[in-house]
């Protein structure tokens, strides 16, 4: 991944059917809608894509569907992160050989609190074992650990580690990361409330989950910014706030998937143990998203 892939890359949800199985027609439909809205790439199997609830075989299937439907129109990146280094390496091999993805997004190992030395070793070994470009992915609130700025600086020197998606929501940290960006190392925010501010600070774009529900709003931020229309970009950025604030109404990604479905996008339920929103939360969500139009396909 490099700066030529800058822009808006949706962190795709994984549409499921009523039995919590992969909804292939829904996933193809979602892929097609997002490409038609002008996104610059697709990121399957991230946190909002429920990577943690899918088997490796299911992950390969999801990535294969997205890659096939994209048909080379935009690059496709697959989330392959896991706790063990060898497990990530094996899934990366399958993604390269069986799917042919354009790049890999690799979350920090979670749950057990790896040290910085262990994190660096983890990514070094993974990078050595693949020729695909790698996007580092940090989300400390979920993973319980993050890469420090010096660790990112070290890893950014590895030729095929080409970008970072930072979902910590810390703007000062993001600015420090942006100081590390080069033509061969891009910096993306994974916090949708910071898309415009990331662009203003010199970042490359966003891996944005809200694109699943309100693609027109998210793309307006990018398109208006590129056109020099700051006021329109700022208005679009502020328009994301009701949806972002609503995320607290349920367990991830139940709110996003429900909002997407209500706004006409393919979604389906989240996989258990995540459950549908309680009636009161659902009503609050419906009120919050009244500011958005249904997605025109």
Catalytic member of 59, 67, 165, 257: 165
Neighbouring residues of 13: CB distance < 8 A, sequence distance ≥ 6: 30, 48, 49, 50, 209, 212, 253, 256, 257, 260, 267
Among the listed residues 88, 17, 81, 85, the one whose alpha carbon sits nearest the alpha carbon of residue 43: 81
Residues 6+ apart with CB under 8 A from 297: 33, 36, 264
Intra-chain end-to-end CA distance of the chain, in Å: 29
CA atoms within 13 A on the CB side of 183: 0
Residue 43 DSSP symbol: E
Active site residue 137: yes
* 165 tagged catalytic: yes
CA 145 – CA 142 distance, rounded (Å): 8
Element (H, E) at 9: strand 7-10
Catalytic residue among 59, 123, 137, 257: 137
Sign of CA dihedral 266, 222, 154, 115: negative
Phi and psi, residue 80, nearest 5°:
-125, 10
Alpha helix segments (H runs only) across the chain: 24-36, 56-70, 85-94, 116-128, 140-143, 149-155, 171-178, 195-200, 215-226, 230-239, 241-246, 254-262, 279-288
Residue 17 CA to residue 92 CA, distance in Å, equals: 27
Element (DSSP H or E) covering residue 113: none
Residues 119 and 108: beta-carbon distance below 8 Å: yes
Question: Rounded to whole angstroms, how far apart are CA atoms 188 and 56?
Answer: 26
Q: Which residues are catalytic?
A: 137, 165
């Amino acid at each position: 991944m490099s700066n030529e892939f800058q822009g808006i890359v949706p962190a795709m949800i994984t549409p499921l059917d009523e039995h919590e199985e992969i909804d292939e027609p829904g996933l193809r439909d979602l892929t097609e809608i997002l490409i038609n809205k002008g996104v610059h790439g697709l990121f399957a199997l991230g946190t909002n894509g429920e990577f943690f609830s899918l088997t490796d075989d299911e992950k390969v299937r999801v990535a294969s569907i997205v890659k096939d439907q994209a048909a080379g129109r935009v690059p496709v990146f697959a989330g392959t992160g896991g706790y063990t280094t060898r497990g990530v390496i094996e899934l990366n091999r399958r993604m390269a050989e069986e799917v042919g993805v354009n790049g890999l997004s690799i979350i920090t190992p979670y749950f057990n609190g790896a040290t910085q030395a262990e994190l660096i070793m983890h990514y070094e070994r993974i990078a050595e074992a693949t020729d695909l470009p790698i996007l580092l992915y940090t989300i400390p609130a979920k993973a319980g650990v993050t890469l420090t700025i010096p660790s990112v600086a070290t890893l950014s020197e590895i030729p095929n580690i080409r970008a970072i998606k930072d979902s910590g929501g810390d703007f000062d940290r993001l600015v420090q990361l942006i100081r590390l960006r080069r033509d061969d190392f891009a910096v993306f925010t994974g916090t949708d409330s910071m898309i415009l501010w990331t662009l203003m600070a010199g970042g490359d774009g966003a891996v944005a989950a809200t694109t699943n529900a309100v693609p027109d709003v998210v793309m307006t931020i990018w398109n208006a910014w590129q056109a020099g229309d700051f006021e329109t970009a700022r208005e679009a950025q502020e328009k994301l706030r009701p949806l972002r604030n609503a995320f607290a109404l349920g367990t991830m990604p139940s709110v996003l998937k429900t909002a997407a479905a209500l706004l006409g996008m393919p979604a389906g339920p989240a996989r258990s143990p995540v459950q549908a929103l309680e009636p009161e939360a659902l009503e609050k969500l419906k009120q919050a998203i009244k500011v958005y139009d249904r997605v025109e396909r």
